[in-house]
Structure 1
């Protein structure tokens, strides 16, 4: 009996030692994994659009580093190139207009919309030369913008409201960065542009703004999307990015001049140009961003509603072959809700002032 007891005690000791050793190995493994995640460099694509320039605040003021995440901003002079880079897995996150993420979603590119950046409130517009005073006057005239982008959609929508189609104009396919100079040099009669190119075009003598996104509130939302790999393997990192973004918003509220300087430097424009460009963007708090994703409304304040309307239009003009199965699935407010638990407030600047 004593021999049996000793044997049981011996086995118990061996089991305890094994468990301690195994736990130590697990801790080392977990520590190694955490260290690996902290070293991963996430690439976030941006292009020349005011609300996307807010990421330069995050970068310049060290908020990514503060949140323990390594993010590299990748600038694309041609907007459609940024969308293509995201679709092919060359970047992990993308700042984009909602119309430009519908086709990738429909085509099976894994993505989730994790943050609402802004609604265009005048940052997009259709500008024309002297003598063209209305949309109807564009008939037979040359109009430049970048095919397949939000500005193309905006142009088609403006024409449709006046009973016109792309066939009624001479459509000129140019990148936004090229469309503005083409208008300024008189090579085209009109151009559909976003800021800061829009302000540069409007600076031309006798140019006229025919319509802007201020006339269609909620029609052009801009968002941050994460790719499938990041969604599946980097949920905590998505929350860190969102936290870093709202650190930037708080900094923008308290240090407006420095925030504008950060954006202007990154954009390569003057601080005054940056202020004007940002005046066309309506920014969102965490709560209002969550509401836009989750609070069901039959109007453009509800992102899935907006997305469905845009998708139907894109299908009508043959930009997509089929409708998304459920536009609500494109949006995931869970990350924002987690971030909201740890923040006392989420102010955003009033860019119109």
Structure 2
């Protein structure tokens, strides 16, 4: 099965004026330490932040309310997403300001000229995303997935890694029944015995492993053969234009949270455990399955005002792959992706 195109979906949603915050697939919560309006004209009244339940520095920043502490007069509205295609829809409709998105859906958004830019690389995905199968499925290697039912959220980093692993092992997609499901539906289908396995992320991965599952391969394995995936931060062009200092401040907040994350102190693990809904041990395991990047490490990928990083080429390679899957109608040159990365925010 092929990765779904987003363009028609975005057009349809925008034409009827539906905002993603009113759709299933996104959960919202608002917090504010003060109801007063921001007195600083350089600050918005509200920041609408889309996030994933990923075990990274941003989730820690949310749990520790670092954004609220930095901007006490601003309402912080959190919108939880399960898949990147919904983030693209929300950005296209103007219903969020800042968000996290995976490399494949983010690449798709850039190709389709959605109104956002990349300002931060949250993590490089390793074992936190994996092909997990039932112990009773008869699957003991990637070669055994032929004739099996494997679920994954279409258009996601997990979907990209699943398709990449099939290609790397000379397995045709036609030999596997690949089902489009979100994480919660995957957990339900697993418990009902409707699927043999799934390519999925944390925290769903840990829940399935504790329910008779085992790992066959991970995104770290897939990346070693050239298919790198990660999660990066995007900001709407309108918000970045109006509030550039807020964007810079949020980068500093993420840097603070990521450095704290790397200590894996008891308080850090406890906060993330509550956000992920996992035990302390499961949370520690999830934290060790991705590579988080502080501000000093961003420049390797994002670059600086004087030098391009490696992220644009990673996105170009992803775009080329999406083209083979007919998920995009064209794969632009690397200059398109260079323009989509805010390397000017880094020295």
- Class of the TM-score when normalised by the shorter of the 2 chains: 0.7 to 0.9
Runs of 4+ in 1 over 4 A off after TM superposition: none
2:268 is paired with a residue whose SS is helix
1:134 Cα deviation from its structure 2 partner: 1.8
Q: Alpha carbons of 1:83 and 1:49: their partners in 2 closer, same or farther (altered >3 Å)?
A: farther
The number of residue pairs the alignment matches comes to 298
Residue of structure 1 equivalent to 2:311:
303
Spell out, residue by residue over 1:169-210, the C-alpha distance to the aligned partner (whole angstroms, 9 max, x if none). 1121111221133234321111110111112222233x3322
Q: Which of residues 151, 155, 160 is equivalent to 1:144?
A: 151
Segment drifting more, 224-233 vs 213-222: 213-222
Q: Alpha carbons of 1:80 and 1:107: their partners in 2 closer, same or farther (altered >3 Å)?
A: closer
1:222 is paired with a residue whose SS is strand
Q: Which of residues 35, 48, 54 is equivalent to 1:49?
A: 54
Alignment of 1:65-214 (within 5 A): 65-68=68-71, 70=74, 71-77=76-82, 80-130=85-135, 131-205=138-212, 207-214=213-220
Query: Unpaired segments of 5 or more residues in structure 1?
Result: 1-31, 296-300, 338-353
Spell out, residue by residue over 1:10-38, the C-alpha distance to the aligned partner (whole angstroms, 9 max, x if none). xxxxxxxxxxxxxxxxxxxxxx9962443
Query: Unpaired segments of 5 or more residues in structure 2?
Result: 1-36
In 1: Cα distance, 2:259 partner to 2:52 partner:
23
Segment drifting more, 34-43 vs 283-292: 34-43
1:273 is paired with a residue whose SS is helix
Q: Alpha carbons of 1:291 and 1:220: their partners in 2 closer, same or farther (altered >3 Å)?
A: same
In 2: Cα distance, 1:311 partner to 1:222 partner:
15
1:73 Cα deviation from its structure 2 partner: 2.1
Which structure features the higher share of helix residues? 1
1:266 is paired with a residue whose SS is helix
Compute the TM-score of the two structures, normalised by the length of structure 1.
0.77
Q: For the Cα contact (< 8 Å) 1:180–1:193, is it kept in 2?
A: no
2:164 is paired with a residue whose SS is helix
RMSD between superposed Cα atoms in Å = 2.4
Compute the TM-score of the two structures, normalised by the length of structure 2.
0.79
When Rg is computed on C-alpha atoms for both structures, the one with the higher figure is: 1
Q: Which of residues 326, 329, 340 is equivalent to 1:330?
A: 340
